[in-house]
Amino acid sequence: MNKPAKKPQQKKVIQNFEYARRLNGKNVKIFLRNGEVLDAEVNGVSNYEIMVKVGERNLLIFKHAIDYIEY
């Protein structure tokens, strides 16, 4: 008897944005890959960007431009 071929199971991908929830509303120090350092308040986080407030300016920073963040 031939068994029917099993369908490959798709893994359920759960993205963990727990760190993003903790950063929202906090003052952080963002070290960019070009060497700049920003003292900012995080206003929002999405899959590819972080919205921050630096002084009176609102900035949209792409995550790939960030080296690391201290909080």
Tens digits of per-residue pLDDT, 11-37? Answer: 554 455 567 678 999 999 999 999 999
Provide the token pair at 36.
């700049």
Mean pLDDT of 62-70: 92
C-alpha closest to that of 58 among 47, 48, 44, 37: 44
pLDDT value at 43 more than 50? yes
pTM, whole model, 2 decimals?
Answer: 0.72
Q: DSSP letter for 24, please.
A: T
Q: 23-70, what's its fold?
A: SH3 type barrels. (2.30.30)
Q: Where do the domains of the chain lie?
A: 23-70
